Amino acid sequence: MASMNQTPVAFPSRQTLKPTTINHHNHLPSALTSTTTLPQLKQIHCQILKTGLNHSNPLLLEFLISSFSLPNSLDYALSVFSQISELETHFCNQVLRALSRSTKPEKTFLVYEKMRKDGVVVDRFSFPSLLKASARISGSKQGMELHGFASKLGFDVDPYVQTGLIRVYAACGRILESRLLFDKMLQRDIVTWSIMIDGYYQSQLYDEALVMFEEMKNSNVEPDRLVLTTILSACSRTRNLKSGKAIHDYIMKKNVVMDAHLQSTLITMYANCGSMDMAQHLYDKLRPSNIIATTTMITGYSKIGRIEAARSIFDQISEKDLVSWSAMISGYAESDWPQESLKLFDDMQASGLKPDQVTMLSVISACSQLGALDKAEWVHILIKNLGFGNVLPINNALIDMYAKCGNLAEAKRVFDKMPKRNVISWTSMITGFGIHGNADSALRLFHQMKDEKIEPNAVTFMGILYACSHAGLVDMGRQIFASMINDYKIAPQQEHYGCMVDLFGRANLLREALELIESMPFPPNVIVWGALLSACKVHNDVELGELAAKRLLELDPEHDGAHVQLSNIYAKAGRWNDVGEVRKFMKNQGISKEKGGSRIELNGQVHEFLVRDKNHPQVNEIYAKLDEVVNKLKLVGYAPNSTGSVLVDLEEEEKKEVVLWHSEKLALCYGLLGVEKGSCIRIVKNLRVCEDCHTFIKLVSKVYEMEIVVRDRSRFHHYKDGVCSCKDYW
């Protein structure tokens, strides 16, 4: 327990007192009520001393309780308390009660210590306040000591003391001890049930909270709004729409009067469970709407991809706070609208609001998606200016951002400068090396991580297996996969099997890949079959490709990638009738191929291109530049290769035309218009770079003496002097 020793009271002298309206002791209680500052409090204390009322316990009690609620006056009041002699239990209990509710509940134990030291009787009315203070500070040690003392005095059977003990153990995360005490209680009121249900909720045992809620109803105890709010929050956390609806029905059946908080919790539950129609119905009835419910609606619509609906609600907020701005910025980032996310962030700053760490994490995520290095560097500078430079989650996100923006060296600099690293830091850096095809560095860092006793997790192994896959390190991949299972006891998930199938598939070990799939302890998902299908396309295995596509489409009949990959396999084999059948099926089912798109950042602006794009303001210059580039490349042996890159059976010249109009070629030619010789052009592509574009960009890097970095769906390609970092293995 803390010591009761306080700084002695510096009693005000008569000379320093300012004139006061307190002329008689009858005025002191009303003066205490109107006191708002410590100097005023000291004046009243001086008046108490002058009038000789410093031994009047009722007045002193009123003085102390008033003091506890004033800013900066708590220590002064406790110093006064420490000098009171002949304390009574009732007096002390009132002080304990006031302190347990104050802004510094830990001070309650100073009074308790003085009571024990001075021999003041601690009765059953003392314990609830002490236990409440213990719960508020999560004081496990204090709670256990009070539990022992209450048992010694025989108060542990008192229902108020039992309730206080349940609250302490629950607040300290010792939910089993809470439940043992709860089960021993002969009488349980709504408060006890509420504490127990909230304890399960705070311990993230949401299903147990739901079970207890049902037990409560079966015990004929009617839940109040606080319990209903907690249990709806549990449904929200677990996305348990069925139970959430049942509780909503219960609220309606019992005619529970819903306050704004309970209404907002219901809206949050439906939104988190993806039931936005019901959430919108309740939100429309909320009068007036509040910022919590509004932010929930923004997040809910964003999560199901209805970003326009989210923005509509956001625009209706008259006074936007940081949380609502952050929710909309995050919604854009998570919905793959990175440019809108960053634009909205600029608008937020213009409004005068200062971003917090949560906002910046969403902004970093948007930069990562966009792949815009200039913007990323600007965000990094802003983070330093905001004082977030040493924040662990921020630095972890920066590593990922720089890696995805193509600047692996800066990602490593952030990693090296971090004052503290966790497994996410190491994993982010290893994954960064992997997506850039730098398997040697990824493996070196992986071994260093283990040497520093940082245990890799399931995500770390995904990163290192990915690195092995894209570098063709089959034996090393096998060893690491086995180590994950045998040394670290991590059960492989679908993603790990997908990495291994990809590893074998890229190395043309297609039968071994199929054997691994057949040995999986659970049915393979679209990731696994997709990895095999991609490998079959690369290595022209029509029979196995058909099998992989069939299995994939059984799981996801509208998977456009599977149809396109199968069509490409048929096209490479010259089976145009089969290509036609696939196209006919896609058309009948309304399945369309995802359009290829590429982004390039130039002079701080991000420009987007689609295949055959004619929308750019400089479209004529871009296509003229494309003709110039093609003519120059033909001099060094380039010939457009449409095999496997064009889905339909066109004339050869038409195929070549379509291939030349791919989005990455258009983005590259736009870059060539605006950068100087020797500069670096960075492009982000939403699909895998095709074989012809890969060859085209390699030759451009040589002929134009230009470094070109392309991020496609699966990895980075660094082109320089006619060579790609992937070594044509991607």
Lowest mean per-residue pLDDT among 56-70, 280-294, 641-655: 641-655
Residue 657's DSSP bridge partners are none
What confidence score (pLDDT) does residue 597 get?
Answer: 93
> Residue 371: is its pLDDT beyond 80?
yes
**70 φψ region: left (φ > 0), alpha (ψ -120 to 50), beta (else):** beta
The pLDDT of residue 23 is: 42
With cut-offs at 50, 70 and 90, classify the pLDDT of residue 629: very high
Distance (Å, rounded) from C-alpha 441 to C-alpha 432?
A: 10
714 — pLDDT class (breaks 50, 70, 90): confident
- What is the C-alpha separation between 540 and 538, in angstroms, rounded? 6
**Of 242, 238, 282, 237, nearest to 262 (Cα)?**
282
Put the strands of the sheet holding 723-724 in their side by side order.
Answer: 605-610, 597-602, 680-685, 707-711, 716-720, 723-724
Q: What is the mean pLDDT of residues 623-636?
A: 94
Helices (H), 407-486: 408-417, 423-435, 439-451, 458-471, 474-486
> How much is the pLDDT for 38?
64
Q: How many residues does the chain have?
A: 730
The two tokens of residue 366 are: 């948007």
* pLDDT beyond 50 at 18: no
Report pLDDT digits (tens) over 444-484: 999 999 999 999 999 999 999 999 999 999 999 999 999 99
User: What DSSP assignment string belongs to 206-245?
Assistant: HHHHHHHHHHHHHTTPPP-HHHHHHHHHHHHHHT-HHHHH
Confidence class for position 2, pLDDT limits 50, 70, 90: very low
Confidence of residue 34 (pLDDT cuts 50, 70, 90): low
Instruction: Give mean pLDDT, residues 427-440.
Output: 95
For the segment 296-317, the average pLDDT, to the nearest whole number, is 94
* Contact status, residue 468 vs residue 503, Cβ threshold 8 Å: yes
How confident is the model at residue 547, as a pLDDT?
94
DSSP element (H, E) containing 286:
none
Sign of the Cα torsion 496, 498, 501, 502 reads negative
Predicted confidence (pLDDT) at residue 52 exceeds the cutoff of 90: no
pLDDT of residue 69: 66
Tell the burial category of 184 from Cβ atoms under 10 Å away from its Cβ (0-12, 13-18, 19+): exposed
pLDDT computed for residue 644 by the predictor: 47
Region of residue 489 (phi > 0: left; psi between -120 and 50: alpha; otherwise: beta) = left
Mean pLDDT lowest among 142-151, 154-163, 721-730: 721-730
The count of C-alpha atoms lying within 13 angstroms of the C-alpha of 180, restricted to the half-sphere facing its C-beta, is 5
Name, in order, each residue with C-beta under 8 angstroms of 294's C-beta and a sequence gap of 6 or more.
Answer: 283, 313, 314, 316, 317, 324
Other CB atoms within 10 A of residue 46 CB: 18
Q: Which residue has the tokens 């719960």?
A: 135
Give Cα 11 to chain centroid, integer Å: 53
pLDDT in tens, 654-687: 555 677 899 999 999 999 998 887 789 999 999 8
- Mean of the pLDDT values across residues 701-730? 90
> Is residue 361 within 8 Å of residue 393, measured between CB atoms?
yes
Q: Is 372 helix (H, G, I), strand (E, B) or coil?
A: coil
Task: Tell me which of 59 and 587 has the higher pLDDT.
Answer: 587
Instruction: Tell me how far apart the alpha carbons of residues 179 and 184 are, in angstroms, rounded to a whole number.
Output: 9
Dist CA 126 CA 661 (whole Å): 82
DSSP bridge pairs for 711: 684, 716
Q: Is residue 579 within 8 Å of 571, Cβ to Cβ?
A: yes
pLDDT above 80 for 5 = no
Q: Residue range 573-597: average pLDDT?
A: 86
Q: What angle do CA 358, 362, 368 make, to 5 degrees?
A: 140
Query: So what's the pLDDT on residue 515?
Result: 96
The whole-angstrom separation of Cα 198 and Cα 712 is: 47
pLDDT of 39 strictly over 90: no
DSSP state of 697: H
> Does pLDDT of 646 surpass 80?
no
pLDDT value of residue 20: 38
Angle between the 291-303 and 322-334 helix axes, to the nearest 10 degrees? Answer: 0
Any alpha helices (H) in 472-618, and if so which ranges? 474-486, 494-506, 510-519, 526-538, 542-555, 560-572, 576-589
pLDDT of residue 36: 58
SS3 of 639, please? coil
Quick one: pLDDT at residue 318?
86
Q: Identify the three-state secondary structure at position 683.
A: strand
Helix (H) or strand (E) holding 163: helix 159-171
Residue owning tokens 């970092």: 725
User: Looking at 583-677, which runs of residues are DSSP E strands?
Assistant: 597-602, 605-610
Amino acid (1-letter code) at residue 105 = P
Confidence check: pLDDT of 325 > 90 = yes
| Number of neighbours of residue 643 by Cβ within 10 angstroms | 13
Residue 564 banded pLDDT, cuts 50, 70, 90? confident
Q: Which tokens hold the place of 287?
A: 């009068």
Q: How are beta strands 597-602 and 680-685 bridged, if at all?
A: antiparallel
Paired strand residues for 600: 607, 683
| Tokens matching residue 212 | 């207890």
Residue 339 banded pLDDT, cuts 50, 70, 90: very high
Q: What is the mean pLDDT of residues 229-246?
A: 96
Judge contact between 268 and 238, C-beta under 8 A: no
The end-to-end CA distance of the chain, in Å, is 65
- Least reliable range by pLDDT among 58-62, 432-436, 659-663, 678-682: 58-62
Average pLDDT over residues 527-539: 92
Q: With 90 as the cut, is the pLDDT of residue 82 above it?
A: no
Mean pLDDT of all residues belonging to the chain: 88
The pLDDT-based confidence of 22 (bands split at 50, 70, 90) is very low
What would the mean pLDDT of 487-516 be, rounded to a whole number? 95
Angle, CA of 504, 506 and 512, to the nearest 5°: 25
CA 508 centroid distance within chain: 38
Q: How confident is residue 343, by pLDDT bands cut at 50, 70 and 90?
A: very high
Distance of alpha carbon 642 from alpha carbon 256, whole angstroms: 68
For the beta carbon of residue 281, count every other beta carbon within 10 angstroms.
Answer: 12
Return the number of other C-beta atoms located less than 10 Å from residue 636's C-beta: 10
